[in-house]
Chain A
Amino acid sequence: MTARKLLIGVTALALIALPFVYKQPYHLHVLVLILIWSFAYTSWSVMGRFGLVSLGHGGFMGVGAYVTALLWNHLGVSPWIGIPLALLAAGLLAIVVGYPCFRFRIIGHYFALVTLALSGIVLQVITATRDFTGGSLGYTPERTKGSVLAAVQFVDKETWYLIALLVWALGLLIWYLVDGSMLRHAMEAISEDEDAAAAAGINVTAEKLKITVLSAVMTAFAGALYCQYQMFISPDTVSGISVSLQMVFAAVVGGIYVALGPTVGAVITILLAEALRIGFGTAAVGWDNLIYGVLLVCFIVLLPQGILGSLLVRRAAAK
């Protein structure tokens, strides 16, 4: 175990030290994207690993991004207050949809499709209120001059890298905290058999709601962060059904039962997209998703544990 702790420490130091020695902006930009999306995918798998397959996380991400940006532009509310409000909004949304779902035992396919409707609603509301949100053309938070801490706007990539790294680490920490908590045992029991879990004294509705709200709030935070970093959001990039599917896909490819699985998924999908974009330019439009699609089918048919998950299982079996 000490060797493992040493490894984690060295990796953490190397990751923190990276922007001080290496400043190539494009590479840092890709790393920031990977970290933010890794955090989003980790947020999804916090609940996805217990069989609660949500196709509505695009909706939560959209709420996180749009509430933050709208408060800033229309009311001049600093993201320091706007982001917590956005997280609150996402949490409330999760309760409004989650509570009846769990209360009335909507599970499996039905849960996936109800949450799919949720991301549809968020997408349509953003599009319909185009006078405020810019509709499908997208939306830009008003820029400040230079880096302003109060507005959470920074021009240099190094700062963003460190912020994203911190948030990503926070995501992993939450994953581990859940992993070691009673909540995890309760959720595992629920995912095996809801009736048996209820008979054993687990409050099924409350436990499911806890994990869903946690996951939704984390996802909204990823959305807010993405908005502050990219300074441009559109329903296609932070909300809606395709974003929801993209989250599920990346998490499944990496492996949803291990902490770093979603991160591996983000690394693979983003590097693939960027490599194809650089290698083939506009001729590559569509090719990345074409490859994703084939990979996703192959993974589910051949490697249901995901890449990292399968590797770990194999290593454990070899021991």
Chain B
Amino acid sequence: MNFAFFEVFDVYLLEAIVNGILLGGVLALMALGLNLIFGVIDVVWICYAELIMIGMYGLYYTYAVYGLPMWIASPMCIALVAVLGLLLHYIVIRPLLDAAPINQLLATGGVLFFLQSFATVAFGIDFRNLGIRLPVLAIGDMHFSYARLLAFLAALAGMVTIYLFMTRTYIGTAIRAIAQDRQIMVLMGVDSRRLYLVTSALGGALAGLAACLLVLQYDVHPFVGLSFGPITFMIVVLGGLGNFIGGFVASFVFAEIISLGGLYSDLEWGYVLAFAFFILMMFARPQGLLTRRS
């Protein structure tokens, strides 16, 4: 599999930096979804990127094949992945809530295989894209694609929405509370099962939003998840599992490393650099860039 996620970067440093920031927005969105799941349910969805892949196919089919307008197709796509998140929790995670963490990790690894091969069987291994080319914004000698800009803004909007939901609504407050103390909240009469389902759906919806934004920029194929799945995990771990702000900061650090690393040599070296940075940081700060606020 070629890690074709970040295509070719142009030659200018500033452009690479800005592109890194734009890329960081989408990475931050994905990291947020994964962090939400981990922070609340204490489970890592290894198949998170594959949910996004299914969402990308969802948008491809509703928009490009069945010709629904974008404002109907994208909410449908988000809802689809939210339902998938619910099902994943209900069928796979729920029976394993008390199992060893590593078994949960492996079970979602099984879902990863399943979703990849489901996509291979159902959609074939061809690369597909929406067939829309958004214009390119030129500022001086620098070029930025509108798709990236749009993705960055939508990702920011998604994150603000989640923030408001978590701080301003009753159920959001309950979710934050249960993330802090699993035992006590159940004694206080909070229905943890229901909260877990809501969280899973929310995590799925974030994956769905990421899918809508990614499919604007990249081709979709059954193994596309492998191009950004590992990087998302590393970001989340680097930020400290379950730490939202850490994940946000780490997304931009990673995006800049990849963007600038790719600028000075081959794209793959940008990845090698990012992965190596991750391993080094794990030794320097095993608890994440920012330690979790208690």
Contacts and interface: CB of A to CB of B under 8 A. Distances in A.
Interface of A: 51, 53, 97, 100-101, 104-106, 108-110, 112-114, 116-118, 120-121, 124-125, 127-128, 136, 235-236, 240-242, 245, 248-249, 252, 285-290, 292-297, 300-301, 304
Contacts of A101: 282-283
Contacts of A289: 113-114, 116-117, 120
Contacts of B115: 293
A53 B105 contact: yes
A120 B276 CA distance: 10
6 contacts: A106-B283, A112-B105, A125-B272, A127-B268, A236-B1, A287-B121
Contacts of A116: 230, 233-234
A290 B118 contact: yes
Nearest to B233: A113
Contact of A249 (B92, B99, B109, B268): B109
A248 B113 contact: no
B272 A124 contact: yes
B121 A252 contact: no
Given A124-B275, A245-B109, A136 B103 contact: no
A128 B101 CA distance: 34
B191 interface: no
A104 B271 contact: no
B237 A110 contact: yes
A286 B101 CA distance: 28
A118 B234 CA distance: 11
B42 to A, nearest CB: 10
A105 B286 contact: yes
A256 to B, nearest CB: 10
A279 to B, nearest CB: 15
A180 to B, nearest CB: 25
A51 B102 contact: yes
State the main secondary structure of chain A at its contact with B.
helix
Contacts of B286: 104-106, 110
A225 to B, nearest CB: 24
B279 A97 contact: yes
4 tightest A-B contacts by CB? A293-B114, A296-B110, A286-B120, A128-B268
Given A109-B101, A286-B120, A293-B115, A127 B3 contact: yes
Contacts of A301: 92, 95-96, 107
Given A293-B112, A296-B106, 14 more contacts: A97-B279, A113-B233, A114-B279, A116-B234, A120-B230, A124-B3, A124-B275, A241-B230, A285-B121, A292-B113, A297-B114, A300-B99, A301-B96, A301-B107
A297 B283 contact: no
Given A110-B237, A297-B107, A290 B226 contact: no
A33 to B, nearest CB: 19
Given A109-B101, A117-B275, A240-B1, A294 B120 contact: no
A285 B272 contact: no
B43 to A, nearest CB: 10
B111 A127 contact: no
A294 B114 contact: yes
B2 interface: yes
Contact of B226 (A106, A241, A285): A241
Contact of B282 (A110, A296, A304): A110
B45 to A, nearest CB: 12
A109 B282 CA distance: 12
Interface string B202-240: 000000000000000000001000100010011001000
Contacts of A240: 1
Nearest to B107: A300
A236 B230 CA distance: 15
B106 A300 contact: yes
Nearest to B231: A120
Contact of A124 (B117, B271, B283): B271
Contact of B102 (A112, A287, A288): A112
Contacts of B165: none
B44 interface: yes
B127 interface: no
Given A116-B230, A127-B2, A128-B266, A121 B99 contact: no
A236 B3 CA distance: 12
Given A51-B102, A286-B117, A294 B272 contact: no
B125 interface: yes
Interface in B129-176: none
Given A127-B3, A288-B117, A106 B282 contact: yes
A136 B96 contact: no
A290 B117 contact: yes
